[in-house]
Structure 1
């Protein structure tokens, strides 16, 4: 029923933990597709050992030159054969009920199933009563941008493979930041409804060297391309378009924060004004509705309008 795509790059330290969590699933009809994306450590050796020692499990291994996580996920989609698609990262792990909860949400008129995420930086899990709601595609769009348990992750979701195939959906290799959100917004155009469980069953390990947290590089600017693609994936009604543009400004504020904290003087000189110009373009919308992105970002934007130098001091 489910093809699980696991893109691997130098994952020898966490791969066994991830695999063991997949092995212990209460839902067992899984096809595990490991893509070794040009690892230089013992990742491939571990994968071969896992496959050899688990003859009763459906395990596929493909190796390729290092091309990034998007290319690895795309390679997994080319190999998938099951009705549903899931993505798991090798430095993360999942609770035993992860797939059984996701598959439970996939009723006849639901095209996307979602569970909650527990980040390694979270002090505690959500102990509230577990709920499972079915939302219209319109209501889900807002949750995707504003609910921290839903967001644009691909790893806490279950997709219908026929939708991905019919509409030729894939991950943009040229985008290094928010490529998953771009994929999700494209998929959203074709869903009738989404099911969301509040159970935090996906454990997301935040690494210092991840694309979101690493030192400054021009790859971080691809977040701008991600939103350009999102605008061209299909026509959005006004309400959804505003949500997208508000998150675009929030992402630009994140980008300038990354530039100030982790960039050199040369990086700042080369990129600061370009980001500022993009921020100014959304002035009217963000002044009226930017508070919906959170007080931190709204105040940051107001400071940017009043005194750009003060923004740099506060962010640092």
Structure 2
């Protein structure tokens, strides 16, 4: 594969990240990789983020860094702006409060370098840190699997691979055809079915290295997104379900359980242990044919166990089970 002046673009959406932005900037500048750029998309930060990024740019002798400032419109829009301005043939996303190892880009790019067709998505294993413990998964060896099998593992939350878009490398041409949907949460659950349906990507390559360090903390994107819950979330979930039903029916159970679990988790952060919002969520979901078909399937009791685990509320679980029989 030929190497252009800029082979890889690293896109970092940034919002009020003054506590972390210098740290991730240094980690990205000090990669053992050549021919790449770092594109920070400042999503209307109101703290000192932009000033720090300006200092980092002045201090950077390699001239790797570009900063684009936009009005605040959410992480999906920021990622899209990054994709549209990327110079590299390949794109990887990094969250501003996470960390990467010095060989992060090398480990992601090597599969493309060794595959002249480039018909794959590359990802590295992830270390999860919650501030106290470091959770390193057992997978250590590199492997390659078909896209559908990989998506199943993402949806089943095995953490062999995860549904988030960080820690992965995509051909830019693929992302330009499948931009993120703005103003929604669960943008990762939204984009993967679309990528799987529309692309010529056949394989996902998983590096044997742990090169991405995801730091989970209060105030993270998942926590802050709780305020964005509205009816469009259900529309996004339904669109994903429709793709799965039409193109990949064997993934319907995994996709439905994953989206319900994600929705319930965010809503619980927003509303706490309140029974009534759960009732409203179920009513919305049951308006859609794909969910109604799912919930009426023969293995309904097994599939609804995820709700019991997610909501941790036996009364609500029994309520859902009773209501499901009426749809």
TM-score by length of 1: 0.82
Residue segments in structure 1 that go unaligned for 5+ positions in a row: 310-316
Task: Name the structure 2 match of 1:284.
Answer: 296
Shift of 1:292: 11
Shift of 1:108: 3.1
Relative distance call for 1:257 and 1:139 in structure 2 (3 A) is closer
Task: Name the structure 1 match of 2:187.
Answer: 179
After superposition, give the CA deviation of every residue in 1:265-294 in whole Å (9 maximum; x if it has no partner). Answer: 9x8546623425626823234835956997
Task: Name the structure 2 match of 1:33.
Answer: 39
> What is the alpha-carbon distance in structure 1 between the residues aligned to residue 252 and residue 313 of structure 2?
17
Contact 1:260 1:268 (8 Å CA) reproduced: no
Contact 2:234 2:284 (8 Å CA) reproduced: no
**What is the aligned counterpart of 2:52 among 46, 57, 61?**
46
**What is the aligned counterpart of 1:157 among 168, 172, 175?**
168
Shift of 1:8: 0.8
Output aligned runs, 1:195-274, within 5 Å: 195-214=205-224, 216-219=226-229, 222-231=232-241, 236-237=246-247, 240-256=248-264, 258-260=266-268, 262-263=270-271, 269=276, 272-274=279-281
Contact 2:275 2:316 (8 Å CA) reproduced: no
Contact 2:13 2:41 (8 Å CA) reproduced: yes
Relative distance call for 1:250 and 1:140 in structure 2 (3 A) is closer
Relative distance call for 1:12 and 1:26 in structure 2 (3 A) is same
> What is the alpha-carbon distance in structure 1 between the residues aligned to residue 306 and residue 277 of structure 2?
28
**1:77 and 2:83 equivalent?**
yes
Relative distance call for 1:204 and 1:244 in structure 2 (3 A) is farther
Contact 2:155 2:258 (8 Å CA) reproduced: no
After superposition, give the CA deviation of every residue in 1:108-134 in whole Å (9 maximum; x if it has no partner). Answer: 344200111212228334375721111
Relative distance call for 1:91 and 1:299 in structure 2 (3 A) is closer
Task: Name the structure 1 match of 2:23.
Answer: 17
Contact 2:22 2:53 (8 Å CA) reproduced: no
Task: Give secondary structure in 1 for the equivalent of 2:255.
Answer: helix
**1:91 and 2:107 equivalent?**
no
Task: Give secondary structure in 1 for the equivalent of 2:296.
Answer: helix
Shift of 1:52: 1.0
Q: CA RMSD in A?
A: 3.3
Shift of 1:149: 3.6
Structure 1 segments (4+ residues) deviating >6 Å: 292-296, 298-303
TM-score by length of 2: 0.79
Task: Name the structure 2 match of 1:313.
Answer: none
> What is the alpha-carbon distance in structure 2 between the residues aligned to residue 232 and residue 242 of structure 1?
13
> What is the alpha-carbon distance in structure 2 between the residues aligned to residue 209 and residue 306 of structure 1?
33
> What is the alpha-carbon distance in structure 1 between the residues aligned to residue 70 and residue 303 of structure 2?
44
Residue segments in structure 2 that go unaligned for 5+ positions in a row: 1-6, 322-327
> What is the alpha-carbon distance in structure 2 between the residues aligned to residue 301 and residue 221 of structure 1?
24
Contact 1:256 1:272 (8 Å CA) reproduced: no
Task: Name the structure 1 match of 2:324.
Answer: none
